[in-house]
Amino acid sequence: MNLLRVADLGPEGVRSVLRRATDLERGARPQRLGGAVLLAILTPSTRTRLGFARAAVDVGAVPVMFESARYAPTMSAPETLEDSLASVAEYYEVIVLRTAQYPSALPEDSASIISAGLGDDEHPTQALIDLFSVQRELGRIEGLRWGLVGDLNWMRVVHSLLRALAWFEPAEVRLMAPPGRGPSPELLSGLPCREAEPGDVEGLDVLYVAGLPPGNGEFALDDASRRPWRVGPETMARLGPGARVLCPLPRVDEIDRQVDADPRSAWVRQSAGGRFVRSAILEACWPGRAEEDERRRPSPPVSKPAASRSAYRELLERRLGKRELVYFGTRGADARSLSDLRNFECIFSQIAPSGLAGVDEVCLESITKRRVDLDAYNIDADGSGPVSDLRVEMLRRFETLAAVVPYRAGAVLASAWFPRSDKVLHLGNFHELQDTFEHKPWVESQLSEAEVGVRTIPWRYFADSERPLIKEMLEITPLVVRSNRSDGGTGVRFIHSPEDLDRDWPPHTDGFVATASFVDGLPINVNAVVFPDGAVSRHGVSVQLVGIEGCTKRRFGYCGNDFAAAAALDAGDIQEIDRALDAVAGWLARHGYRGAFGMDAILSEHKVFVVEVNPRFQGSSRLSAALDSQSDRADMFLAHIGAFLDLSPPDHLTSTDLLKRPLAAHIVVHTGNTRVLEDLAGDPPPGFDVDLVSRGGVTVEAGAILADLVTRCPVTADGTSLSASARSAVEVWNA
């Protein structure tokens, strides 16, 4: 393929090149492409010429320089560039081309042509290097505040950069150019632009110094016109501490040399990163690559009827053979979905025993007579006697041939499994790998740079010592402040004023927090299972209930899922959710994760913002499994086991398919104060079934689950409030 303008790659192609460049920088081996690259650089160039020469070497190709068309003083005229290129194009796989004028014709059906700057049209490879650099320096490209300074009309890289920026939804683009040197209006469509004066750089994330050469002829600019736009110490003093100054280079005097040593001056690092971007570009444009990619791409999943639950279950039973199947989780009731597996024998859980007949069950709640708040309790940090007894009981159980399915891999399970790993299959991830995927800043920063089309919340990270900076921001706007690991909304605060920050500082020990503006929208949750090759088994989209009065005291506390309400979502939004889900799944698989996972997102104005990835089963998985089971489909617990027994997904149903079935909602009611509950056997609220209720005088700790109210009808429209009937059901229950 040719790369003459950024549009030739499109947003997905650009992201793909950036992702590949990231991999190359991290040590991935470039492809050994062989062949030869012609560097037809017919106007001056340092970085692009030498950078593509090096990239050609990196991909195993021979770089050949061609620097002027055939001409001698004895000739009346040089050979035209068009003739030169047409006649040699067959010798090369790729021609990297820079010319003073856009050529009147380019070779076709032979070498791929990569523009290294054609006339005043575009400089797409430089724009890719710029985006890569921003990604590397700031951790993301989306949602940033940009200032572009220089001759924004004439500099061809600006044309490429503005066109590409429109795909990354900048929060702001300030255009800083002398009169008559602003960009053409057609470049600004869809961008939040405004003209700005020299030095108006406060609040910017990126100050891009595009270049303001003195020029000549009709393009000449005198020093008086150029001087105000120079970036010097005064401009740097107005830029924030986290901002970066980029420049494609060369510079004349647009950036004062005094600021070279400022760590925010990133142009040398920017240029260095070009090596990886240019290798990624050569790989992407190499002839036959697109066809090869097409050939290798798995055929699109056929929306075939789901393999029946019983067929998939039989496959699992065959793979498990004589092994007992053991479930290790938080709520024992979650394991009910395994009850039709012949091998299913035992549950170890923390609260809410399943009550299944014929299954051995060890539940901490039944032993301690206390129900813990699962979002605050961590069994791995509990050294109490009952947990020690639980380990001993697991060791005993694992003396027979078995396989264990964890809700979430953890250290307690590992302590019983490793000593018995000769007899027991662990159908889950290694628990310390699991921990990695629970580090929210790592996951979201990886996703934003590494995946095609995953839009994440634009978090900014602050060291604990920078709390005063957060307070300064709170003077202007409320902020969400979040610790880096938390479940069920426990570590997330909505802070409205500097004074509230100290009182509501999220507890953590890792020295930094994340902040972001509140993104208003519909909270969405998805259940899925990823297989080692990145294939996904989807298990339902729901509207997540968050912070519902009467159900939780936490502002962002988890309160249940409404699968029925999700049926009303726009068809395009559902497809966008699936696209994000598939991208997250692909990323998880590439990083060695497999099995059940969840994705929380905010749906805002038809955009899907991924909020977090839950590398485990979720509170919604039990109802998701019940819905699958009632439509004779293998649910996510079975699919998860399949992912660890080297099976394929049970089917390729899309979320759109799944929303066509009879659906349901559940509301998780948490108690505000610690309560002792005698058996609550009263009539369930009309239209609701009640689940997860504790029995036998258990003390339910503040914040713990009191009951799960399940209904066939939608209960919410916005995820943060309930319908009248649902509200009264909660009131009756949580009186």
User: What minimum distance in Å lies between the beta carbon of 127 and ligand CP?
Assistant: 10
- Structural tokens at position 19: 């992702």
- The answer to whether residues 249 and 126 touch, using CB atoms and an 8 Å cutoff, is no
With respect to ligand CP, which residue has the nearer C-beta, 124 or 458?
Answer: 124
Of residues 117 and 491, the one with the C-beta less far from ligand CP: 117
Kindly state the tokens that stand for 342. 């012949």
Map residues 85-124 to x or -, x wherever contact with ligand CP holds by CB under 6 A. ----------------------------------------
Minimum distance, C-beta of residue 49 to ligand CP, in the bound complex (Å) = 6
Mark 563-602 with x for binding to ligand CP (rule: CB under 6 A) and - for no binding: ----------------------------------------
Cα separation of 457 and 276, whole Å? 27
Strand partners, 118: 99
- Closer CB to ligand CP, residue 48 or residue 135? 48
**Element (H or E) spanning 581, and its range?**
helix 571-590
Interface mask toward ligand CP for 246-275; x: CB under 6 A? --xxx-------------------------
Pairing of strands 522-530, 512-516: unpaired
Choose one: 43-51, 200-208, 334-342, 367-375; the region binding ligand CP (CB under 6 A): 43-51
Q: How far is the CB of 184 from ligand CP (least distance, A)?
A: 20
* One of 5, 22, 24, 45 touching ligand CP (CB under 6 A): 45
What are the tokens at 496?
Answer: 């409205």
Which of the stretches 42-50, 312-320, 620-628, 700-708 binds ligand CP when contact is defined by CB under 6 A?
Answer: 42-50
What residues are paired with 304 via a beta bridge?
A: none
Phi and psi at residue 336, to the nearest 5°: -60, -30
Residue nearest ligand CP by beta-carbon distance: 48
Closer residue to ligand CP (CB): 9 or 634: 9
CB of 67 or CB of 314, closer to ligand CP:
67
Under the binding rule (CB under 6 A), the answer on residue 47 touching ligand CP is yes
Nearest to 506 by CA among 464, 549, 543, 465: 464
Q: Among candidates 104, 100, 105, 106, which has minimal Cα distance to 119?
A: 100
Judged by beta carbon, residue 161 or residue 409, the one nearer ligand CP is 161
Residues 327 and 344: their CA atoms lie apart, in Å, by: 8
Query: Among residues 158 and 452, whose Cβ is nearest to ligand CP?
Result: 158
Between helix 636-644 and helix 621-630 the angle, nearest 10°, is: 100
**Strand pairing class (94-99; 62-66):** unpaired
Among 22, 112, 115, 126, binds ligand CP (CB under 6 A): 126
Q: Which is nearer to ligand CP, 134 or 335 (CB)?
A: 134
CB closer to ligand CP, 153 vs 575? 153
- Choose one: 46-54, 177-185, 251-259, 594-602; the region binding ligand CP (CB under 6 A): 46-54
Q: CB of 647: closest distance to ligand CP in angstroms?
A: 51
Q: Is it true that the peptide bond before 250 is cis, omega within 30 degrees of 0?
A: yes
- CB burial string 181-199: b at 16+ within 10 A, e below: bbbeeebbeebebeebebb
> Which residue lies nearer to ligand CP by CB, 248 or 428?
248
Encoded one letter per residue, x for contact with ligand CP by CB under 6 A and - for no contact, window 211-250 reads -------------------------------------xxx
Q: How far is the CB of 246 from ligand CP (least distance, A)?
A: 11
36-41 sheet: strands from edge to edge? 62-66, 36-41, 94-99, 112-118
CB of 18 to ligand CP, least distance (A): 17
- Residue 613 is encoded by which pair of tokens? 């990835």
Least gap, CB of 528 to ligand CP (angstroms): 42
> C-alpha angle with apex 129: 123 to 134, nearest 5 degrees?
125
Interface residue with ligand CP among 10, 12, 34, 46 (CB under 6 A) is 46
User: Are the C-beta atoms of residues 144 and 206 closer than 8 Å to each other?
Assistant: yes
Let me know the angle formed at the C-alpha of 722 by 719 and 726, rounded to the nearest 5 degrees: 135
Q: How far is the CB of 52 from ligand CP (least distance, A)?
A: 9
Residue 679 backbone dihedrals phi, psi, to 5 degrees: -55, 125
**# binding residues, ligand CP (CB under 6 A):** 9
Between CA 10 and CA 360 the distance in angstroms is 56
Contact 598, 610 (CB under 8 A): no
Binding site for ligand CP (CB under 6 A): 45-49, 126, 248-250
